[in-house]
Homo-oligomer: A and B are copies of this chain.
């Protein structure tokens, strides 16, 4: 673990070295999609590559910061901590998404806390680097707008699916969401911690646990490996439509 103390608040983070955007093999899905190879020749400040352990915090709500993170691999939760310490999760973001985009709007503080859900591989991009590239490449502005729109679409979906209806429907929506964005080719899902699922669908941990346990008994969730479940998406979608049809 070489230089993780560059950000003292980020425990369990490991610096992997400078990112080589020019030869990045997944650039077409990242924030810098559309930029020419030569764009990165003279960036003012370095773009670093980091790995975060599950549970590690990228940044806290209200904290001053100067970097946007582009997710290469893994899952990030954006959350708000209530006065009583309880968390409410606002978004789950995976490969290709950018977090911390609110810094591009002029303010200097993050508006959520960002925490790694699974093992996380990210690029850390200084805001000043984005600002200077922006002047030269208008395509980058379009990318920023697109990523923001992506966040907005996710937030709207969140309101409609995780925030509406009885708890069963909301949990079914969550499982379908996890399956849809699963890195697994079969769409198998790694269940989140009960506390996380509760903070997403807005119910108590016990209610989520009861529902998940019931879905397992009814074989809508089938264990295919340790911590890995295959879900009966058709049946889950039926639950989703239960009252809304």
- Enumerate chain A interface residues (CB-CB to B < 8 A): 80, 82-84, 86, 88, 90, 101-102, 104-106, 111-112, 135, 138, 141, 144-146, 148-149, 151-153, 155-156, 158-160, 163-164, 202, 241, 243-245
Contact = CB atoms under 8 A, between A and B. Distances in A.
Contact of A90 (B90, B151, B159): B159
Given A82-B244, A105-B146, 20 more contacts: A83-B241, A83-B245, A84-B244, A88-B160, A101-B149, A102-B149, A102-B152, A104-B145, A112-B156, A135-B138, A138-B138, A138-B141, A141-B141, A141-B145, A144-B145, A145-B145, A148-B152, A152-B152, A152-B155, A155-B155
Contacts of A101: 149
A113 to B, nearest CB: 12
User: Per DSSP, are chain A's interface residues mostly helix, strand or loop, or mixed?
Assistant: helix
Contacts of A148: 145, 148-149, 152
Given A104-B145, A152-B151, A159 B245 contact: no
B163 A202 contact: yes
Contacts of A164: 88, 202
- Of A138, A153, A159, the most chain B CB neighbours within 10 A belong to A159
Contact of A156 (B82, B105, B111): B111
B88 A159 contact: yes
- Of A102, A111, A155, A243, the most chain B CB neighbours within 10 A belong to A155
Contacts of A84: 243-245
Nearest to A202: B164
Closest 3 CB pairs of A and B: A155-B155, A163-B163, A141-B141
Nearest to A243: B84
A90 B111 CA distance: 20
Contacts of A202: 163-164
A191 to B, nearest CB: 22
A141 B105 CA distance: 11
A228 B54 CA distance: 51
Nearest to A80: B160
